[in-house]
Chains A and B, each alone.
Chain A
Amino acid sequence: MEDDVKVLLIEDDVAAAEMYRLRLVADGYSVVIGHDGHEGLRLAVDEGPDFIYLDLRLPGLDGFEVIEGLRANAATMHIPVIILTNYGEPELRERGMKLGALEFLVKADTNPAQLSESVERAIGPRALPSI
């Protein structure tokens, strides 16, 4: 069931995190929020999310360091990650994709409804009803 799919949002902007949470919950996902890089890495281990949305500018560890931390841990290395940021520079995009992000989305150009579409694209079979 969709309800079983858990999304971890690593986002320090409270207003943005709350908005994305509202949309993802309305689309049937369960959502946990990490407000900084360290908390994000800890929740990735403790909560075992199916999918991670990751901001780049974060307190503590930045988004790139978080991906490196996720990839260095066997428990989190396979979790799909999409970068969701205010930065659109090609060199950042390239760096993120090299580190293994599935997509690189610029917040101002991303409709919250697209978040669920990206999750479905990434983990489609698991998002389908199990009946």
Chain B
Amino acid sequence: MPDLASPWDDPDVTDDAASKLFLESVRLASRLASAAGRIREAALLVLRGDVLTCIAISGAAGTGGRGPYRISEYPAFEEAITTGRIVDDATRVVLPAHGESGVVGLLVIAGAGGLDDGLRDALTALSSIAGLGVSQAMAAGELQLEAERSRRLERLKSEFLNIAAHELRSPLGIIRGYSSMLSDGMLSEADRGVALTRIVEKAEEMARLISDMLETARLETLGLELELEPVDLIEVIDNAVQAMRPLLGANHRFAPVAGCGDVAVVADRARLNTVLTNLIDNAIKYSPDGGEIEIDCEHDDRVVSILVRDHGIGINADQAHLLFTRFGRLVTPETSHIRGTGLGLYLARESARLHGGDITVAPTHGGGSTFRVSLPLA
């Protein structure tokens, strides 16, 4: 018998109902075959998508990826799957287990070549029962997945309602307030200028919030698709800096961008812009006393890193991993008043990962945080 089970990584496959049913079928088959004095080993193989699960009568069990490739290493297995018929090659008998969607598994009896008709009929009946069981278990698994997906969407919906209730109200309050003061005609010319600037800034803040919410919903339900093109890194960094400049506090300033010239990446321009604006937004919000926000690049032949560094509150190292989870804001007495949806860093890292890169965070020397976006070079 091939050692399909031994090198695999998950020994817990017998936990699900389908696997238990397979195992029971194999045991029965094994007893029958043993009674005929013919059996050396028996196993049940189930291919679900790319994942192959194997349960052997000897007790070995495992599951692993690249299932079709593993199957293709055994011509008898492949033949049984393709033809849907029993293959008996003198060293083993391979019986296809038929489910509602075709062959869903294989019952493999090793050392049982040349079965007599009675034993063959009994094993065929067992493999049919196993096939039906697998089908039903798979359908139950699908239902479970669907239920989990619907619970996840329900959670997302309530989290979005919470954002709409709190985070959108804040810029909306400013827009409505200044608009009413403009329409009252009570503002001086200088104050009218301030009012219009604030209205534009807050409308942009709302647009960013809504766009983050939509991106999250898309990511959770459909997955994001990138529109890749060659992008000049300094150009996209400059655009992000310009877009975020109005949000700088009185004591903030951008240091000159360093080391990012003459670097091109293949990226989705809009999403790369979102990654950078979300990181800059974060740097501004979490350095409430101001300070420099520095952006620079490092690269070798394979990877370019964009570093966004602030000198603000900083992040507790044991909690850093939570930062990039959805709604994973770190709320401490120092940060509880800082507005945020907990979506910006999550989306930024998901986008970076879709590009084949990543985002990590480390403390800035002397206080604050440094976020590193790494992207593969074309």
Contacts and interface: CB of A to CB of B under 8 A. Distances in A.
B173 A111 contact: no
A108 B173 contact: yes
Nearest to B194: A18
A60 B336 CA distance: 9
Interface stretch (A9-17, A46-54, A118-126): A9-17
Given A18-B194, A59-B288, A86 B173 contact: yes
A12 to B, nearest CB: 5
Contact of A19 (B184, B186, B198): B198
B181 interface: yes
Contacts, number: 67
A81 to B, nearest CB: 18
Contacts of A12: 337
Given A15-B201, A23-B177, 7 more contacts: A16-B174, A87-B165, A107-B177, A108-B170, A111-B177, A111-B180, A113-B184
Contacts of B187: 22, 26
A130 to B, nearest CB: 24
Given A13-B170, A23-B181, A86-B170, A108 B176 contact: yes
B181 A19 contact: yes
Contacts of A69: none
Contact of A86 (B169, B181, B288, B336): B169
Interface string A12-34: 11111011101100100000000
B154 interface: no
B202 interface: yes
Contacts of B201: 15
Interface string B319-335: 00000000000000110
A16 B336 CA distance: 18
B177 A59 contact: no
Interface residues of A, number: 27
A107 B173 contact: yes
Contacts of A18: 194
A106 interface: yes
B191 interface: yes
A88 B161 CA distance: 13
A57 interface: yes
Contacts of B195: 19
A103 interface: no
A62 interface: yes
A62 B174 CA distance: 21
A29 B196 CA distance: 24
A56 B165 CA distance: 15
A112 interface: yes
19 contacts: A19-B195, A22-B191, A23-B181, A26-B187, A36-B337, A57-B337, A58-B337, A59-B334, A62-B337, A86-B173, A88-B165, A88-B169, A106-B169, A107-B169, A107-B170, A110-B173, A110-B177, A112-B177, A112-B181
Interface string B206-246: 00000000000000000000000000000000000000000
A58 B338 CA distance: 8
A62 B169 contact: no
B173 A14 contact: no
A23 B182 CA distance: 11
A106 B170 CA distance: 10
Interface in B160-200: 165-166, 169-170, 172-174, 176-178, 180-181, 184, 186-187, 191, 194-195, 198
B195 to A, nearest CB: 8
Contact of A15 (B181, B198, B334): B198
Contacts of A57: 336-337
A126 B123 CA distance: 98
Contacts of A86: 166, 169-170, 173
B184 A15 contact: no
B261 interface: no
Contacts of B333: 60
